[in-house]
Chain A
Amino acid sequence: MKKKKRISLTFYAMVIPMAILFFIFHTIPFLQGVFYSFTDWKGYGTWNLVGLRNYTHIFSDKNIYSSYLFTFKLAICATILVNVIGLLIASGLNAKIKCRNVLKAIYFIPYMLGTLIISFVFKFVFSNILPMVGEQLGIEALRLNILGTNQAWIGVLFVTVWQSLAFNVLIYLAGLQTVDQDIYEAANLDGAVGFKRFMKITFPLIAPFFTINMVLSARGYLMAFDQVMAMTDGGPGTLTTTISVLIYKKGFSGGQFAYQSANAVMMFVVIVVISIIQLKVLDKREETING
Chain B
Amino acid sequence: MTHRTKLHKEKVNWPITIILMVVAAGLILFPLYLTISIALRDPSDMVNLLAFPKKLNFSNFAEAWKMTNYPLKFRNTLFITVINLVFTIITNSAVSYAITRNYKKSKFFKGMYYYFISAMFIPFSVLMLPLVKQAALFHVDNIGGITFLYIIFGLPMNIFLYSGYIKSIPEAIDEAATIDGASPLQTFTRVIFPMLKPMTATVAILSFMWTWNDFLMPLILLSKPEQQTLQLSQYVFQGQFTTQYNLAFASYLLVILPILVVYIFCQKWIISGVVSGAVKQ
Contact = CB atoms under 8 A, between A and B. Distances in A.
Interface string B131-143: 1111100101000
Contacts of A12: 98, 108
B216 A226 contact: yes
22 contacts: A5-B105, A11-B184, A14-B97, A15-B98, A15-B112, A18-B91, A19-B112, A24-B138, A30-B127, A30-B130, A95-B16, A97-B20, A112-B260, A113-B256, A115-B213, A129-B49, A133-B50, A209-B279, A252-B129, A267-B123, A267-B126, A271-B121
Nearest to B106: A7
A116 B129 contact: no
A226 B234 CA distance: 12
Interface in A8-27: 8, 10-12, 14-15, 18-19, 21-22, 24-27
Contacts of A134: none
B125 A170 contact: no
Interface stretch (A49-57, A75-83, A258-266): A258-266
Nearest to B11: A96
Contacts of B215: 114-116, 225-226, 229
B128 interface: yes
Contacts of A125: 31, 34
Nearest to A14: B98
A267 B125 contact: yes
A77 B227 CA distance: 37
Given A106-B28, A116-B234, A271-B123, A257 B279 contact: no
Contact of B274 (A122, A170, A265): A170
B86 interface: no
B4 interface: yes
A29 B31 contact: no
Interface residues of A, number: 94
A271 to B, nearest CB: 6
B16 A109 contact: no
A19 B155 CA distance: 9
Given A18-B95, A24-B134, A181-B7, 7 more contacts: A15-B109, A25-B149, A114-B214, A125-B31, A244-B125, A247-B128, A268-B126
Interface in B165-179: 175
Contacts of B28: 106-107, 109-110
Interface of A: 1, 4-5, 7-8, 10-12, 14-15, 18-19, 21-22, 24-30, 32-33, 36, 43, 89, 92-93, 95-99, 101, 103-117, 120-122, 124-125, 128-129, 132-133, 162, 167, 170-171, 173-175, 181-182, 185, 209, 212, 216, 219, 222-223, 225-226, 229-230, 243-244, 247-248, 251-252, 257, 260-261, 264-265, 267-268, 271-272, 275
A247 B124 CA distance: 11
Given A28-B134, A97-B20, A106 B29 contact: yes
Interface string B213-253: 11110011000000000010011001000000100110010
B69 interface: no
A contact patch SS: helix
A8 B132 CA distance: 37
Interface residues of B, number: 99
A31 to B, nearest CB: 8
Nearest to B121: A272
Interface of B: 3-4, 7-8, 10-14, 16-17, 19-21, 23-24, 27-29, 31-32, 34-35, 38, 49-50, 91-92, 94-95, 97-99, 101-102, 105-106, 108-109, 112, 115-116, 119, 121-135, 138, 140, 149, 152-153, 155, 175, 183-185, 188, 209, 212-216, 219-220, 231, 234-235, 238, 245, 248-249, 252, 255-256, 259-260, 263, 267-268, 270-271, 274-275, 278-279, 281
Contacts of B102: 7, 11
The 6 closest A-B CB pairs, nearest first, are: A114-B213, A14-B98, A32-B130, A244-B125, A11-B98, A29-B130
Contact of B271 (A95, A105, A260): A105
Given A21-B152, A97-B17, A116 B125 contact: no
Nearest to A124: B245
Contact of A29 (B12, B134, B216, B245): B134
Contacts of B27: 162
A4 B238 CA distance: 62
Contacts of B20: 89, 92-93, 97, 103
B107 to A, nearest CB: 11
Contact of B12 (A98, A101, A103, A272): A98
A248 B123 CA distance: 13
A22 B125 contact: no
Contact of A103 (B10, B24, B125, B256): B24
A212 B49 CA distance: 40
